[in-house]
Structures are given as C-alpha cells and as structure tokens.
Chain A
Amino acid sequence: MASIDYPLEHPAVKEEEFSFSNHLYEWVSTVDHKRLGLMYIVTALLFLVIAGLMATVIRLQLAFPNGHVVDPDTYNRLFTMHGTTMVFLVGMPFVAGLSNYLVPLMIGARDMAFPRMNAFGFWIFLFGGFLLYFSYIGGGGLSGAGSAPDVGWFAYAPLTSRAFSRGASTDYWILGILVAGIGSIASAINVIVTTLSMRCPGMTLARMPMFVWVMLIDSWLIIIALPPLSAAQIMLLIDRFLGGNFFNTQNGGSAVLWQHFFWIFGHPEVYILIFPAFAILSEVIPIFSRKPIFGRPAMVGAVAAIGFISLGVWAHHMFAVGMTSWSNTFFTASTMIVGIPTGIKIFNWTATMYGGKIRLLTPMLFCCAFLFQFLIAGLTGIMLATGPFDWQLHDSYFVVGHFHFTLVAGLVFALFAGMYYWFPKVSGRMYNEKLGKWHFWLFLIGVELTFVPMHFLGFLGMPRRIYTYEAGRGWDFWNLVATSGLIFQIPATALFVWNLLISSIKGERSGDDPWDAWTLEWSIPSPPPEYNFETIPEVRSSRPLWDLKNPNDPDWRFE
C-alpha cells in the first residue's frame, strides 16, 4: 500500500506565505471538517481542564467536615458550572468533533454535507461557551457583583424564578446553553445528511463502520431531544422576563413540569454523551483483537434500541416527586429495559476479544478498563432504576458516584482510547506508548479512588450538592479518600497533555496505517490531505482495507 509522506504543514501553502496572521485566518475561516473537528476537540479539552479545576476545588472543600476553602455561594456556583461545562462544553463538542473529523473519512467523502453550516455550528457553540463564562464577570448576584449560575446544572424551578434567583446568573445559564445548543443541532443535522447522502459507492448503510452508525443514531437523538431543552429554556425566559407562568407556582404553574421537560431532554442527553464511547470501542476493540466486531447487526440494533428506549425513561429522575405508583412502575420498567441492549453491547465487545489476539497498547487498555467500569456503572444504574431503592439513593452521593462512573470511568476512558488511537492519523506521528501507559494506570487509580467511595457516601445518607457537612455523620473518611484521587488524576491528565504536545512535535512518523486497521480513514495519508481521498473509493464490505489486505479471505464472501 503506497504511503505518501506529506509534510505537516498544509501542502498548498507556499513557504514564504506562511505567517501567523495567514495561519490564523485559515483556521478562523475554515470550513474543512477536519480542522473544525480538531477545533471542537481542542476546545472541549480546554473546557475539560477548566471544569476539572473546579472539581478540584470542590473536592478540597469536601475533604474535611466544616470545610472553609470556599463560601457556600462560591461552592454552589462551582458545582453548577462544573456540571454545566462538562455536559455542554465538553461532552457535546466531543460528539460534534469526533463525528465531524471521522465520519467523512470513514464513508469515503471529501467533506461533510454542509461545510459552511459546520463552521457556523462550531462558532456558535464557542460563543455559547463564552456567554456562559461571561457570567462570572457580567452576571449579577444578589449584591450585583459578578456571579455565575448557581442553580445546579438542571436548574429546577422555582429556584430559577426571579423570586429566588435574582440577578442575571440564571439568564446566562439559559442563554449560553440555548446558543450552544443551536450549534449541536446544526452539527447533528449535518452528520445525518452526510451519512445518508455522501457515502462512497458500495457503502450501503449496512456496510458503514460501527462508528458511523453510532454517531448517526446519536445525531437523531440530538435533533429530537435537544429541542425540549430549548423549549423549556424559552419558557423559563418568558417566565423571568415577561412574567409568564409556565413554572410559576404562585399562579397555577407547575414546578414539576420543568422537571418533565428538562429530563425529556436530560435523559437522552446522557445517552447522547455516551454514544461516542460506544462508537470508539466498536472501532478500537476489533483492531486490537484482530477480529471483526462480534454480531454487527445486533450491535447496530442495540444502539438503535438504546436510542429509542432512552426517549421513554426520563421520569426515573423524578421518583421522589410524588408521581402515581403507575408512573413510578412504568419508568422503573422502561429504565431497566434500556439496560438490556446496553448489556448486550458489553457482551458483544467481550466476544469480539474472545478468540482474538489482544494487543494491550494504550488505546486497548483504556477500552478494557471501560468494559469493567461501564459494567459497574450500568449495574448501579439498575439499582437506581429500581423505584423503591431509588427513593433512598436519589439525590444522594450514590447518584453522583453512578454518573461519574458512566461519564469519567466510562466516557472519558473511551475518549482517551479514541484520542490515542486516532492521534497518528490526525498528526502523522505516534504518541509515546510508555507515557500513555503511565497515564492509564495513574488515571485509573485516581478515578477509582474518587468515585467508588461516593457510592458508600450515598448509602450513609449524604445528600448531593452540599457545600459542607458536620463531623460525626460517618462521611469524613470516604470524603477524604475521594479527594485523594486527585493526587493521581491531576498528574495523569498532565501526562496526557504533555504526551500529545511532545509527540505532535517529536513523535516518530506513523505512516498511513500504524495499527493495521480496516476502515477507510487508514487508507489515506497521515495527516489527511485537505481533499481526503485522491479518488473516491468503492467498497464491497464493511472492512474495505481487510478485503484489500486479505484478498484470499475477503469479508464480502461472508457478509
């Protein structure tokens, strides 16, 4: 397979034209899906670090009873901004960034269906993020001083009404997310249309890589589930600015209606967030096990089932609200049912590895840890799905442990796997494997130390979102253990950033296909030229490169 070694700079730019302002202009005005994808991911990583610093302060405050690291208002802003940032400014841009970068490459296209809308989506997302953070300077707290939102990332009514949330901080929460959400929806429509309308010849929907399937279904979820949040936020704006009564309990409005609308968005949202993890695992595990994904149709079916069912489980966040026993039972049932296709995916990934030749390199290490940790997270999810058990666990640190397990021990691990896996393709160089392994083990220990004890704290009655606690409630020890995880997580993350930076400058050249992989992105140079493919490929199976490398045993004989 011919491997053309392109220089790292853009080949079309002549040497003498290379200047900082030209370079900046190129990036700011780009409509190239690869550049936009990178911009999404780099921005997401920046926000990850910012929100991670917030978490550090939170954990320092909670390390000991009667903590005085921050005052209650600052703490309440910290946990609100931490959650809001992680969901909307880290998770969502990762969804957009990964699909924008990889989907055209995987389906043999030259760009997304709507390149300019792609750029629009990125910049409006970035603007939304700035708007949210501007609240630190511009938002008015009680005394008019700058104040970020402090109402929790799900902003329950009537805490968010004018009466209880004076000043503009809640308005920044609404507007920042409303604006950023437009970007997510634009990106999602782009992914759907690209996938449906721009596949290379021979790539039927059935032959699309698993990654593309998962991100397609993810995008469908986004365009259906995000509008309810926008609608609820518009209603809240009407309440706050025009005296509306949507959630005004003094005039017949219902605080519970906000919860319904929010969680109709909020629950599918967490699946929107985790799908990239499923997508990444379905690409990395087969390559590092040297076997095709086990049960492709079942895997696609499982993702579709999860997406569909996830639209009907939202009120498991509301078991304590006093709904009828019929409602509570229904949502217990639907929530447990959505766990079934999720479990099937874990079985299929394991079966992919079974009988294979597993290379335990950094991407695969993160995938293996994901399997164990997501299994745990799924099982604690079953505990929470059980209505009566949830009456105890709801709004306790058990929930905090559960969702951090799914998102950090789950999603973030998978994102690391994906970033290590595709780093050679994006940069043309290999990352440092030793540093990668150090990163993995340090981060693993840190994550376990921080988030496992939270489950115990839930059992011991510690509620969520408290800025401090008194001694003698049995919470001291586990809180200290949870904080100690920082000692591992912070250096681990620093190692990761260092690895990426140093490797992109001095790493060994990777060539087109360092992993001996099977999907189309590995058939073009690393980094890819702007036009992606010299000639648009034609494919006959779901593993076009396998077919080329194994002409005696091609997939299309069996598919």
Chain B
Amino acid sequence: MTRKRGFRVFFAAAAALQAFAADLPERRIANIFKPLATPAQSEYDIAMLVFAITGIIFVGVAGLIAYTIWRFRRPEDTAEHQEPPQVYGSNQIEVAWTVLPILIVFVLIGVSARVIAAVENASPPQAALKVTVIGHQWWWEVLYPDYNIVSANEVHMPATRDGRNATYLQLQSADVIHSFWIPQLSGKTDLIPNRTNFMWMDPKEPGVYFGNCAEYCGTQHANMMLRVVAEDPAAFKQWTLRQQSRVVDDASVNGGRQEFESLACINCHNINGLGQASAGSKFGPDLTHLASRQTLGAGVLKNTPENLRRWVNDPQVDKPGCLMPSMKLTPDELTKIVNYLETLR
C-alpha cells in the first residue's frame, strides 16, 4: 500500500470511529440519583436508606410541631390570665426520645461502615486498567502508564454491562488541591499534592459522562471541567491504538509544525516527535492527539477548528486568568498552527 493510500485508509477509519464516538450519548445532566457504576450505585443505595429514615423523621417531627402550634395557638387579643399547667418535664419521655434516635443512628453507622469499606478497600485486580490523573490549575493530565498514553481533560475507559472492567485511577496534583467528580460514576476523591489517592469506577453504559473539579483551586476552578468517555471494550481498544500511534507527518502542515517549534508553543506543550523527546506533559497539556479530544481548555470550548483558532489566538477571552497567554500570533501564523494542530488526531 502506498503511503498516500495508507493515509486515506487511516483517516477513513479514524473518521468512522469519530462518527462512532459521536454516537455516544452525552450525559450532561450529572444526576447522582442516576448512577451508572458500582460506587455511585452503592452511594445511591445508602442515600435512599438515609432519605427513607430522614423522611420518616421529618414527617413525624414536623407533623408534631405543626400540630402543636395549631392546637395550642391562642389569638393575641384574648385576655386570658390563667396560665396553663406548668409542666417541667418527664424523665420517661426524655429517655424514649433519646433511645430511639440512638438506635436509628446505630443502624446508619453500621450500613455506612460497610459501604465505606467496600468502596475504599477495593483493590485492583492485576489486569485492571490503571489511569493516573494529575490535577493542574485548571486542566487534567491523564496518563495510561501501561499503554504509554498521555492525554488531557478526558478519561477514556471501557464500559461493560457487568462492570467487570473496572478502571482504577491514581490521583495526584501538580499544584493545589483539586477533586475528581463524575457524579454518575462515583463520589469524589481529592487530588492533593505530595499525596496519592485512589478511586475506581466501572461504567455500566457507554456514554460521555460529565463532571467538574470539585475543590476550589483558584481563578478558573469553574472551568476545570471533566469528562469520562466510556465506550464498549472494542471501541476503547481502538482508541488506545490511535492514541499510541505515531502522528502522521502530513507535509502540507510543515509550516505550522515549524512555527509550533519556534514560537515558544513547544516550551509548554509536548507533541511526540517534535523537538527533544520528552515524556508526557510539560507545563500545559500534551497536544500529541489534540484533535481527537472533544473540548478545548478543559471543557470551555467545543473542539472545532473555529474554536481552536479562537483559543490559540487568545485563551484569556474564554478562560480569563488561565495560565496560557495569548502569543499574539499574526493571522497567518495562527492559520498555519491551527491547520497543523488539526492534523493531530
């Protein structure tokens, strides 16, 4: 197969897979009561128990309070000078309404203990998919150590109905405290500098799961958004292969590639094969497969060529205060670079 034909086949396959990925339902409403993974499910179950108990307590106690107010209210203007019977208390009643809450609380503690242990002490089986997520101000670095993949802002993982392919995340931070929260998949866990935390999730349904950084981390905390792209195992495998593959050297964007290297972009962003070999991200996200991602700026813009141009031209417009400056490129330089970046599938 000639090189050119190979390109076309590859692009066709990539395009087909993009289209396939576009079929993934976007789960924008991150409702904690629509769990689609085991940790979220057990948190949902305990939530329902707590709702039931507190609901009963609320109806009972609020009803009692309402009844009391209604039954014993007196109009303001009646000149009733006789005081009601002065009751000082009752030991039996005090004991009763102390013991009953204690019993309820014990039940809740017991159930909580079980769920806490089940979620926290789960250890990853050998073959499990391991992902390392490193929090930065204000983007997510996503590493697949077993696959040699470096990405950003989206965590891809397989989804299986029986949840057998759980993904185990190792959470770290490069600067301040962040928090990884995809409500439909799991409760949140913090990313803390100088500390490694663990969490796991096993999406049962394919989809793009939305989430956010959930620990205030500075100016653009609001725009440190997060996605988990859960696909069925075959599609996930394809994604890993694409991410591992060498980026195709398209000669038509050589100008852009050179500009990337010479205009300081390369000082913050790694692209495999460019400049000196470096493992993983530098100051900013690794851009080797930028064009395969759904968003720019950790969710602030949809990843389209127009938006990419807008972002590279001045990130401060859509994410003021973020740590990427406007490089003040001329329109021509901008076009070349954007065209080059668009080839990084």
Contact = CB atoms under 8 A, between A and B. Distances in A.
Do A's and B's CB atoms come within 8 Å in the complex? yes
Contacts of A158: 175-177, 193
Contacts of A151: 216
Interface stretch (B2-10, B23-31, B240-248, B281-289): B23-31
Interface string B214-234: 111111111001000000000
B167 interface: no
Interface in B182-225: 183, 186-190, 192-195, 197-198, 210-222, 225
Interface string B42-60: 1100110011011001100
Contact of B31 (A253, A295, A357, A459): A459
A256 B94 CA distance: 40
A356 B98 CA distance: 23
A375 B58 contact: yes
B112 interface: yes
Interface string B317-339: 00011000000000000000000
A463 B116 contact: no
B128 interface: no
Interface string B126-140: 000000000001000
Given A320-B189, A340-B105, A297 B89 contact: yes
Contacts of B88: 292, 294-296, 558-559
Nearest to A469: B222
Interface string A319-359: 01110110011001100110110011011101101111111
Contact of B187 (A297, A320, A333, A337): A320
Contact of B214 (A332, A383, A394): A394
A294 B87 CA distance: 7
B interface, how many residues as a size bin?
35 or more
Given A337-B105, A355-B87, A466 B212 contact: yes
Nearest to B137: A164
B306 interface: no
A357 B71 CA distance: 9
Nearest to A327: B116
B34 to A, nearest CB: 10
B72 A388 contact: no
Nearest to A353: B68
Nearest to B53: A382
A130 interface: no
Residue from A159, A253, A360, A473 whose CB has the most chain B CB atoms within 10 Å: A159
Nearest to A152: B216
A289 B72 contact: yes
A388 B119 contact: yes
A467 B98 CA distance: 43
Contacts of B121: 325
Given A158-B176, A332-B112, A388-B116, A394 B31 contact: no
B19 interface: no
A389 B43 contact: yes
B1 interface: no
A347 B179 CA distance: 39
B210 A461 contact: yes
A395 interface: yes
A260 interface: no
A243 interface: no
Given A336-B109, A359-B76, A346 B187 contact: no
A197 interface: no
Contact of B109 (A332, A368, A472): A332
Bin the interface of chain A by size.
35 or more
Contact of B68 (A255, A298, A350, A464): A350
Contacts of B299: 470
Given A340-B102, A386-B50, A392 B112 contact: no
B335 to A, nearest CB: 28
Nearest to A382: B54
B21 interface: no
A350 B64 contact: yes
Nearest to A253: B194
A3 B295 CA distance: 76
B61 A346 contact: yes
Contacts of A472: 28
A371 B65 CA distance: 8
Interface stretch (A71-79, A504-512, A529-537): A71-79
B117 to A, nearest CB: 5
Contact of A391 (B30, B43, B69, B193): B43
B58 A347 contact: no
A159 B192 contact: no
B249 interface: no
Contacts of A358: 69, 72-74
B108 interface: yes
A325 B114 CA distance: 10
Nearest to A248: B194
B115 A388 contact: yes
Contacts of A348: 89, 94
Contact of B76 (A156, A360, A465): A360
B215 A395 contact: yes
A498 to B, nearest CB: 22
Contact of A325 (B46, B89, B117): B117
B194 to A, nearest CB: 4
Interface stretch (B78-86, B157-165, B259-267): B78-86
A396 interface: yes
A460 B31 contact: yes
30 contacts: A72-B219, A76-B221, A158-B177, A159-B177, A253-B194, A294-B90, A298-B89, A320-B188, A320-B215, A329-B112, A332-B112, A333-B105, A344-B97, A347-B61, A348-B94, A353-B68, A358-B69, A358-B74, A372-B66, A375-B62, A382-B53, A382-B108, A386-B46, A389-B43, A391-B43, A391-B186, A396-B214, A465-B222, A470-B299, A474-B31
Nearest 4 CB-CB pairings of A with B: A391-B187, A461-B30, A466-B222, A295-B89
